[in-house]
A = this chain, B = another copy of it.
């Protein structure tokens, strides 16, 4: 339902990981198909997304309670600043694909969303479109202990 192809040309602090994320359309319960989502392990590392195909949104949330949902269509760029947990959601009927780019030393904390009981905002099917609902199970984010 979701796959990523990426290229890590350089490992040093100057390298950028670049790739394409592809998310098939669908609805799971009331929620549109989504990526697992992550915060970067080096949490200040930002990321650029550019819409390539399909119709999606990006959910962006901070540890201290901010939550935003940003539409992404082909040709649109979304800048995810450091310290923002983020996830893509396919709200259309075609594949939603994006190009992404982030520092090679950023790493991923993929379990931060799971540890929080899910993201604060859910993107759900609503008639022919989508709507944002507050997730009653969300219990706040905690940063991972770093070794």
Contact = CB atoms under 8 A, between A and B. Distances in A.
A52 B77 CA distance: 12
Contacts of A48: 16, 18, 101
The copy count of this chain in the complex is: 2
Contacts of A130: none
Interface string A100-115: 0111001000000000
A44 interface: yes
Contacts of A101: 16, 48, 101
A48 B10 CA distance: 12
Nearest to A15: B46
Minimum-distance CB pairs A-B, first 3: A14-B44, A14-B82, A14-B45
Interface of A: 7, 9-10, 12-16, 18, 40, 42-48, 50, 52, 75, 77, 79, 81-82, 99, 101-103, 106
